[in-house]
Amino acid sequence: MLDTASAKQKLMAFAESIFNRGLTAGASANMSIKTDTGWVITPTNSCFGFLDADRLSVLDQQGNLISGDKPSKEFLLHKAFYDQRPDDTCVLHLHSTYATALSCLPCANTSDAVPSYTPYLTMRLGAIALVPYFAPGDVALADAVYEVAANHPGVIMANHGPIVSGKTVESCVFGMEELEESCKLAFKLKGHQANLLSKDNIADLKAKFANK
């Protein structure tokens, strides 16, 4: 488990990388890291490209603010993952273009919302759940995420965007990147007779890469 100083350093580095690569815009994203004493989370209305380590929100294990600016209003979403996935240490929420676009379309299977064209989404996150729309910061949205988080480290919130949890900061960020790329593929391949991975393919990947 990281200490607060190390968590701040890692959050700053990954947030800046995410911003510089155009995966989030403005002040729309939020990220948290579990520490040995609580959490570090990006403040409300903060931009990933211009974070200040001294202003990052430091919370205790009860979610109370210890130092820094007011935490993101979507901390309840993060807490839903931490409560359901106690071994996870990082949660990331973006409004990345393709995953957010997919969140606005009808979905035939809310337990498997993103087509599996390549192995890597299955290897990193497994099936992606889709939860209904609720306003940002609404307790009902956190409750909806809580209901699926135990079985889905990757979730898309309808008309809102993706949120991902991981055992490490790296696995969380890389999982989010794979989710965005998979959603991009879904749009690029729309209208084409593309081959999906079979159920046997997916079962084999899950057997080989679960808990990796």
Buried/exposed code over 164-198 (b: 16+ C-beta within 10 A; e: otherwise): bbbbebebbbbbbbbbbbbbbbbeeeeeeeeeebe
Examine the fold and report which residue of 45, 72, 99 is the final residue of a domain before the chain moves on: 72
Q: Which helix (H) or strand (E) holds 38?
A: strand 38-41
Q: Under DSSP, is residue 69 helix (H, G, I), strand (E, B) or coil?
A: coil
Residue 212, pLDDT score: 55
Examine the fold and report which residue of 17, 43, 72 is the final residue of a domain before the chain moves on: 72
CATH number for 102: 3.40.225.10
Task: Scan for tokens 């968590």, then name that residue.
Answer: 7
Domains identified in the chain, total number: 2
Which has the closest alpha carbon to 11: 34, 45, 44? Answer: 34
Residue 183, pLDDT score: 98
Clarify whether residues 181 and 117 are in a common domain: yes
Residue 4, pLDDT score: 98
10 CB neighbour count, 10 Å cutoff: 19
Examine the fold and report which residue of 72, 103, 119 is the final residue of a domain before the chain moves on: 72
Clarify whether residues 2 and 85 are in a common domain: no
pLDDT per position in the chain (212 positions), as tens? 899 999 999 999 999 999 999 999 999 999 999 999 999 999 999 999 999 999 999 999 999 999 999 999 999 999 999 999 999 999 999 999 999 999 999 998 999 999 999 999 999 999 999 999 999 999 999 999 999 999 999 999 999 999 999 999 999 999 999 999 999 999 999 889 999 999 999 999 988 887 55
β-pair partners for 40: 33, 58
Residue 41, pLDDT score: 99
In Å, how far from its chain's centre is CA 129? Answer: 12
**CA 153/CA 128 separation, integer angstroms:** 8
Residues annotated catalytic, as ranges: 74, 120
- Structural domain including 17 reads 1-72
Give burial (CB, 10 Å; 0-12/13-18/19+) of 123. middle
Clarify whether residues 158 and 55 are in a common domain: no
Residue 198, pLDDT score: 94
Q: What is the DSSP letter of 212?
A: -
pTM: 0.95
- Across 73-204, the runs of DSSP E, i.e. the strands, are 90-93, 129-131, 154-157, 161-166
Residue 211, pLDDT score: 56
